[in-house]
């Protein structure tokens, strides 16, 4: 049997973390078994479906490198096929026309609730002739579900789960305007696509009981179902906006790498021993449903930050620079010059050790993106205008005009300078750091000097001396 999975989001919003994990699990399962991964847009809710949401879903999947096989299927384009299945069931006596009005349905539910029963449709039109139908009431089509016994799901994650058929009413297949319901459309489309495994969130488990009854009525073999645990926040509550960004595209904009997001999502409910860092190749080789747990998984920013920092460090500097460029153009608002690219490429190895996201990395890289004179904050000016600091920078300048411009030579030169004056090296490094970067924190001062180069470094130090004297 060739494995076929599908990801079927409703285009009523962006691609959220929970949906992205569902897509990832389906993609990995298909790739692991050398099968097919399909994408279907379930846009039967025309009022809430938007083109912007469809675009966001595509962008999110493409950013995560979750490629799909075959053309995307838009469910609304298949409404005639869905309706045909419902009408076939009516012809076979497995479904019927229901003429109950909204008021009558509300009364049925209220009566059931008053008796302590599930509020559901009571099957009034189940065995009545359409000839008794009131005039002017367009009917819906309802499925005749079993009224006795149980419906069983042999779920690949949740195990055997049953529901008494008395808890389920005759569900609507076609609305009164002739449009198919979600339940009908999903079953028809999964059958037509030969889907073998439906991997989705645990919140769909109750839908599966109804869909299995529909498969049975249509005489079709049902796929295997795997309902994966929901994602909770660090506080144990269901993941929501109050826990932070929930859209995949938001995490992209916050400076997280797709490798880190996928690794993080993979570990939410699935594991492979104690392995925490799992490459895409390993995930494809190792992934199977057997190791998906039943308990809700907790999403924690600290774990994502750790993973993102790891992947940033393991990328080559050239690859990381390409990922970083969109974040660099925001603070400086100009295209990167060749000089800036050269500086960044040289300085990235030090910068990336101190950042958890591309946004942080871009902020830390800002001193490499400007040329003297650099803008100094009030905090920087308060350091530079101290006479001792100004004098120290002036004393260092002549040394920097002659020293060999390498990291090692610069370190030897400046440490000797501090030792000869019997002062701690920090007393030298910190004023130089403020003068060269305008920041309190940066990579080592030798790395900053080496990255900026002699000409730019000397120009910045001279300007810092003049600025300190002016504000002193």
According to the model, what pLDDT value does residue 139 have?
95
| Same domain flag for 239 and 323 | no
Q: Give the whole-angstrom CA distance, residue 33 versus residue 4.
A: 9
Most confident of 42-46, 114-118, 128-132, 178-182: 178-182
CB contact at 8 A, 170 and 144 = yes
Distance CA 53, CA 281 (A): 30
pLDDT band at 334 (very low <50, low <70, confident <90, very high): low
Query: Domain check: are 261 and 349 in the same one?
Result: no
Residue 240 lies in a domain: yes
**Residue 158, CA atoms < 13 Å, CB-side half-sphere:** 24
Write down the catalytic residue from 144, 241, 330, 352: 241
Question: CA 63, CA 58: separation in Å to the nearest integer?
Answer: 8
Q: How far apart are CA 310 and CA 261, in angstroms?
A: 12
Q: The domain that contains 257 carries what CATH number? A: 3.40.50.620
- Tens digit of each residue's pLDDT (9 = 90 or more) over 126-137: 988 888 888 888
Question: Number of structural domains, the chain?
Answer: 4
Helix, strand, coil shares of the chain as percentages rounded to 5? 55, 10, 35
Residue 9 has pLDDT above 70, yes or no: yes
Does 361 share its domain with 386?
A: no
Do 66 and 10 belong together in one domain? yes
Residue 298 lies in a domain: yes
Residues 106, 46 share a domain: no
**CA quadruple 407, 411, 414, 419: dihedral, nearest 10:** -170
Domain-located, residue 454: yes
Could you give the CA distance from residue 180 to residue 406 in angstroms, rounded to a whole number? Answer: 72
Q: Are residues 53 and 82 in the same domain?
A: no
* Catalytic annotation present for 241: yes
Q: How confident is the model at residue 118 (pLDDT cuts 50, 70, 90)?
A: confident
316 class by beta-carbon count within 10 Å (0-12 exposed, 13-18 middle, 19+ buried): exposed
Pick the range with the lowest mean pLDDT from 117-131, 311-325, 358-372. Answer: 117-131
Helix (H, G, I), strand (E, B), or coil: what is residue 109?
helix
The domain that contains 443 carries what CATH number? 1.10.10.350
| 364 and 394 belong to one structural domain | no
Q: Considering only 37-51, 150-164, 210-224, 295-309, which range has the smallest mean pLDDT? A: 37-51
Task: Tell me, yes or no, whether 187 lies in a domain.
Answer: no
Whole-angstrom distance, CA of residue 86 vs CA of residue 172: 10
Domain that residue 419 falls in:
371-472
- Measured in whole angstroms, the distance separating CA 134 from the mean position of its chain's CA atoms is 51
Q: Is residue 213 part of a domain?
A: no
Query: Does any domain span residue 198?
Result: no
| In a shared domain, residues 405 and 354 | no
The domain boundary, picked from 274, 302, 330, lies at 302
pTM attached to this predicted model: 0.90
Domain membership flag for residue 322: yes
Domain boundary among 302, 333, 362: 302
Q: Which helix (H) or strand (E) holds 97?
A: strand 95-98
Asked if residue 309 is part of any domain, the answer here is: no
Residues 37-81 pLDDT 10s: 999 999 887 778 899 999 999 999 999 999 999 999 999 999 999
Asked if the model's pLDDT at residue 331 lies above 70, the reply is no
In 3D space, the residue among 111, 107, 169 whose CA is nearest the CA of residue 140 turns out to be 169
Q: Please name the residue that has the structure tokens 């660090």.
A: 234
Tens digits of per-residue pLDDT, 301-330?
999 999 999 999 999 999 999 999 999 866
Pair 272, 325 in one domain: no
Task: Give CA–CA dist 390/462, Å, rounded.
Answer: 10
Whether residue 320 sits in one domain with residue 296: no
How many of the other CB atoms lie within 10 Å of CB of 301? 15
Task: Quote the CA–CA distance of 268 and 262 in Å, as a whole number.
Answer: 10
Domain at 177, CATH number:
3.90.800.10
Whether residue 104 is found in the same domain as residue 64: no
């Amino acid at each position: 049997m060739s494995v076929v999975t599908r990801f079927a989001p409703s285009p009523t919003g962006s691609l959220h973390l929970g949906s992205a994990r569902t897509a990832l699990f389906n993609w990995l399962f298909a790739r692991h078994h050398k099968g097919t991964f399909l994408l279907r847009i379930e846009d039967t809710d025309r009022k809430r479906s938007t083109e912007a949401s469809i675009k966001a879903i595509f962008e999110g999947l493409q950013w995560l490198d979750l490629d799909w096989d075959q053309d995307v299927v838009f469910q609304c384009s298949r409404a005639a096929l869905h309706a045909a299945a419902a009408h076939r069931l009516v012809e076979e006596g497995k479904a019927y026309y229901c003429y109950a009005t909204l008021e009558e349905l509300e009364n049925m539910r209220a009566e059931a609730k008053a008796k302590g029963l599930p509020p559901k449709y009571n099957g009034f039109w189940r065995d009545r002739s359409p000839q008794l139908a009131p005039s002017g009431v367009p009917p819906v089509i309802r499925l005749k579900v079993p009224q006795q016994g149980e419906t069983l799901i042999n779920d690949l994650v949740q195990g055997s789960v049953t529901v008494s058929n008395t808890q389920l009413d005759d569900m609507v297949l076609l609305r009164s305007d002739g449009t198919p319901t979600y339940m009908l459309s999903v079953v028809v489309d999964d059958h037509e696509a030969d889907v073998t495994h439906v991997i989705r969130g645990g919140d769909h488990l109750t839908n599966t009981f109804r869909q299995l009854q529909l498969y049975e009525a249509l005489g079709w073999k049902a796929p295997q179902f795997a309902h994966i645990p929901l994602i909770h926040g660090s506080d144990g509550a269901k993941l929501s906006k109050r826990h932070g960004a929930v859209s995949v595209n938001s995490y992209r904009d916050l400076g997280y790498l797709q490798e880190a997001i996928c690794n993080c999502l993979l570990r939410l409910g699935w594991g492979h021993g104690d392995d925490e860092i799992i490459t895409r190749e390993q995930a494809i080789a190792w992934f199977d449903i057997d190791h998906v747990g039943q308990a809700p998984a907790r999403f924690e920013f600290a774990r994502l930050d750790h993973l993102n920092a790891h992947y940033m460090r393991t990328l080559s500097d050239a690859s990381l620079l390409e990922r970083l460029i969109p974040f660099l153009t925001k603070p400086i608002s100009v295209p990167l010059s060749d000089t800036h690219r050269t500086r960044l490429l040289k300085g990235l190895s030090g910068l990336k050790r101190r950042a958890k996201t591309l946004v942080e990395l871009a902020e830390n890289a800002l001193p490499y993106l400007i040329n003297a004179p650099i803008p100094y904050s009030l905090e920087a000016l308060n350091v530079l205008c101290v006479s001792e600091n100004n004098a120290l920078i002036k004393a260092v300048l002549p040394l920097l005009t002659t020293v060999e411009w390498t990291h090692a030579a610069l370190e030897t030169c400046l440490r000797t300078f501090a030792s000869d004056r019997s002062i701690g090296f920090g007393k030298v490094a910190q004023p130089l750091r403020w003068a060269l970067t305008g920041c309190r924190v940066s990579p080592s001062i030798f790395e900053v000097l080496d990255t900026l180069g002699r000409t730019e470094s000397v120009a910045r130090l001279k300007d810092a001396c003049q600025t300190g004297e002016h504000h002193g």
